[in-house]
Copies of this chain bind each other. A is one copy, B any other.
Amino acid sequence: MSANSKLTIATHALAWMALNERLGGKFATSEQIAKSVATNPVVIRRLMSEMAKSGLIETQRGPGAGWRLARAPEDISLWDINEALGAEAAFALHRNEPSESCPVARGIRPALTPVYARVDDAIRRELAGTRLADVLRDTLTVSGA
């Protein structure tokens, strides 16, 4: 990616749903969320579809359809969201096979793999420590709502 904003959009959508439910709303529609995020409803549906497959949200079909959270906002971390979206590792190894005949080329990938694994672990720990409820609370504090 250039930089990845999927997590931002998905978290925005879930925070909107959490507030909606708190205010007594039932199912949120892609049109409502798209309006808040300022994008196309199909973009939202694509994200929601991925999160529904991971069990983060529940789908209702037919008239009055939409989605609602499958768990409490305290029980959904940003890592859960990122994982549901099929997050990729922060750093990738070579696209092409490096040279077989060079000792550096032969050994560099096994040498970097554990480093990149530690980076991903660090990201996971950090995201797991922030939950949807935290984000919603901070969001409403900032926006004065």
A positions within 8 Å CB-CB of B:
1-5, 7-9, 11-12, 15-16, 19, 35-39, 78, 88-99, 102-112, 115, 118-119, 122-123, 125-127, 130, 135-136, 138-145
Contacts and interface: CB of A to CB of B under 8 A. Distances in A.
Contacts of A118: 126
Contacts of A107: 138-143, 145
Copies in the complex: 2
A interface: dominant SS: helix
B91 A3 contact: yes
A72 to B, nearest CB: 17
A88 B1 CA distance: 10
A33 B37 CA distance: 46
A98 B126 CA distance: 25
B5 A95 contact: yes
A37 B102 CA distance: 9
A122 B9 CA distance: 22
A94 B8 contact: yes
Contacts of A3: 88-92
A98 B135 contact: no
A11 B104 CA distance: 10
A97 to B, nearest CB: 6
A8 B112 contact: yes
